[in-house]
Chains A and B, each alone.
Chain A
Amino acid sequence: MEEKFYTITVYTENNVGLLNRVSGIFLKRHINIESMNASRSEIKGVHKYVILVKTTEDWVRKITGQLEKQIEVIKAFYHTDEEIIYQESALFKIKSDLLFDERQIQNIIKESNSQIVTVSRNFFVIAKTGRRHEIEELSNELEPYGIMQFVRSGRISVSKETMEISNILEKSQEIKTN
């Protein structure tokens, strides 16, 4: 079966040990996590992991099943790139003189749709949000001038279709009050 990028979204209760449990599932199956992002979700008190993996559909389905089996995982979904809107963010730290000495840099920033976040005496910081290849392009263009620091976030995404998570929580809420 063909390997593809899959984005796994995991809705969870907040628990310190959970990250260990979640990453252990990938470790056991020898599946490399390309990127991982943890944040709050749209539901109060519910956390969300967005995990990017490259694997086969068979494996991603099994892993999602294993994830969902964990007590504190409320629901897990997986999507192909076509089924989601996704972005990554990157920060570039660059010497300040370049901004004034190398006119080309200003063009690069403009054309790449990135923003200057801060400028100080010694350095300035460019932020770029977009697809992985767009960030890589910008990085390649800035490379010759010297990048002091670079960092890229994990993928974050939302699905085009609804993820039926609120329903699940409402249902369990009903059980409780009934």
Chain B
Amino acid sequence: MKSEVTKAQKKIKITGSEAVIHCLLAEGVKTVYGYPGGAIMPIYDELFKFQDKLHHVLTRHEQGAVHAAQGFARVSGKVGVAFATSGPGATNLVTGLADAQIDSNPVVCITGQVASHLLGSDAFQETDIVGISTPITKWNYQITDANEIPAILAKAFYIARTGRPGPVLIDITKDAQFQQFEFEYKKCTDIRSYKPVPDIDITKVEAAAQLINAAKKPMIVFGQGILLGNAEEELKTFIEKSGIPAAWTVLGLSALDSDHPLNVGMVGMHGNYAPNLLTNECDVLIALGMRFDDRVTGDLSRYAKQAKVIHFEIDPSEIDKNVKAAVPVLGNVKETLQQMMPLIEEKTYPEWFGEFKRLYDIEFEKVIQPELEPTKEGLTMAEVINQINKESNNEAIVVSDVGQHQMFTCRYAKFKNSKSNVTSGGLGTMGFALPASMGAAMGAPNRPVVAIAGDGGYQMTIQELGTIYQTQIPVKIVVLNNEFLGMVRQWQQLFFDKRYASTEMINPDFVKIAEGYHIPAKKVTKREELADAIHEMMTTEGAYFLEVVVEKEDNVFPMIPTGSSVSECRLS
């Protein structure tokens, strides 16, 4: 493949900072989230000159910038970009980097650094961000010579988006930003020490098909790999042809229509009863682009021991990491599914599927119905989410924070379209939703975006209301206010004898705060007001804030307590 070089960029002397902008433009970047400061000022100066080509969104905290870049990446599949200055600016990125690393989000962060002659001298605002971010980045690098900028940035984008995606941090010293050099940009297409996608072993694909065709009680669990590999169509075809019931992980949510007849719900700690219990009943477990996180498996020594596991995976280091695979199928799941499809026999499993139905009915009666049609006075989180489904026709992008409301969202939000569920899965980062929803709204400008946060997590990044106002980002913000750090309170209730240590929240007037940022706002406390309020929120142009006061001490069920087996999934 010949690399593309636009004529205009060829062999002219420019500064390192200007080169950074050209590199981003060459990579198709249109929006950058960030926060300026001394060590990155030369780059911001270029942003000023290029503002018609490259839109910079000034967040209110660098953590907000990375989360926004993540939200953008999650809905668009493109690389999200964040800027920060050295020292405190760079360290404020850490949570977002860790979040992007564990959830495989393609993000490139560019940090300014003190001038190279000051490195290692404890200079003003010097931190070793490359050292700090090493365990939480897919790759990182410090540039001290402008000549390195084009090749390193090309590499950064290539690494961030290929294979199993992840965050890359590039630290650029201030002198390199000022330095003049001859700029030439070539896209990166190969790194000899990096193989993003392993070769497909066709014998494994065949072995998988054989196992699947011979199965009596097969079950699929799919994860984010389906979304990252754009394999939604292949997933659907596979499920429909094979007739196999399919469950999903939190990050796999929205890859398959919520109303698809073979969609049997969520696995894991607060997943659905049927797929959790039947994980320990199935004879073949087909894992598609998921990594057997401990929140999914519960006690590993009692997880799917009876089943032959087929693991479709892009990252070889995930094979046999937590669960031993009878047949590992390495490769991009889109391609491996395509190759397997002709080998799959058309089947249905009425009796086996009946088991899912039977257990669903139990869960419906004991948990779902009481949540959706409560007889108690207080509002439940589930009914709020259900109302959002109705109002948005299952077509919204839903960005959730972390806690009970997150689990209620994943359990009750319905999706027609893929890449519509954005949440912090692996890291469980409170404060994720509000900034991530900004990126999501900009990454999918024609779709409604609803951020759902708890009263706790919302206040961790509440300052991003400023960004939403300044940048006119049309996100709908819902705070499910239970006046508690609800998820922790639930654990205190169940496992610490109701000792509610520091989980009660005395909250501010959220409506006033939103209004202070010029965002229309409303508070709902009664069931009768809910439908109208959500209708008003979804039909008001631009950003909108809705506080819903919910039952204080509701719990999320089903639940697999830590250390328990998926078979021990509790309904109350």
Contact = CB atoms under 8 A, between A and B. Distances in A.
A96 to B, nearest CB: 41
Nearest to B159: A71
A17 B141 contact: yes
Contacts of A176: 190, 192
Q: Which of B138, B193, B319, B321 has the most A CB atoms < 10 Å from its CB?
A: B193
Interface stretch (B127-135, B401-409, B478-486): B127-135
Given A69-B317, A172-B192, 11 more contacts: A17-B134, A17-B142, A20-B134, A21-B134, A21-B135, A65-B316, A71-B138, A71-B139, A72-B193, A73-B193, A176-B192
A74 B195 CA distance: 9
Contacts of A120: none
A62 B320 CA distance: 8
B190 A175 contact: yes
Interface in B193-220: 193-194
Given A68-B316, A69-B315, A71-B139, A24 B193 contact: no
A88 interface: no
Nearest to A175: B190
Contact of A62 (B140, B141, B190, B317): B317
B8 interface: no
A15 B130 CA distance: 12
Given A71-B193, A73-B193, A176-B190, A66 B317 contact: yes
B193 A74 contact: yes
Interface string A158-178: 000000000001001101100
Interface of B: 130-131, 134-135, 138-142, 159, 190-194, 315-317, 319-321
Contacts of A20: 131, 134
B192 A65 contact: no
Contacts of A15: 141
A65 B317 contact: yes
30 contacts: A12-B193, A13-B192, A13-B193, A15-B141, A17-B130, A17-B131, A17-B141, A17-B142, A20-B131, A21-B135, A61-B320, A62-B317, A62-B321, A65-B316, A65-B319, A65-B321, A66-B317, A68-B316, A69-B315, A69-B316, A69-B317, A71-B139, A71-B159, A71-B191, A71-B193, A73-B193, A169-B192, A172-B190, A173-B192, A176-B190
Interface in A134-178: 169, 172-173, 175-176
Q: Which of B141, B191, B192, B320 has the most A CB atoms < 10 Å from its CB?
A: B192
Nearest to A58: B320
Nearest to B140: A17
Contacts, number: 49
Q: Is the interface of B mostly helix, strand, loop or mixed?
A: mixed
Interface string A50-78: 00000000000110011011011110000
Interface of A: 12-13, 15, 17, 20-21, 24, 28, 61-62, 65-66, 68-69, 71-74, 169, 172-173, 175-176
A57 to B, nearest CB: 11
B119 to A, nearest CB: 12
Contacts of B316: 65, 68-69
A172 B131 CA distance: 29
A45 B448 CA distance: 52
The 6 A-B residue pairs whose C-beta atoms are closest, nearest first, are A65-B317, A172-B192, A74-B193, A71-B139, A71-B194, A69-B317
Nearest to A22: B134
Contacts of B193: 12-13, 71-74
A67 to B, nearest CB: 9
A65 B319 CA distance: 9
Contacts of B139: 71
B198 to A, nearest CB: 11
Contacts of B138: 71
Contacts of A28: 135
A23 B439 CA distance: 35
A44 B316 CA distance: 27
A176 B21 CA distance: 27
A12 B193 CA distance: 7
A17 B144 CA distance: 14
Contacts of A12: 193
Nearest to B315: A69
Nearest to B164: A69
B562 to A, nearest CB: 20
A157 B355 CA distance: 57
Contacts of A175: 190
A68 B164 CA distance: 14
B193 to A, nearest CB: 4
A17 B142 CA distance: 9
A71 B156 CA distance: 11
A24 B321 contact: no
Contacts of B192: 13, 74, 169, 172-173, 176
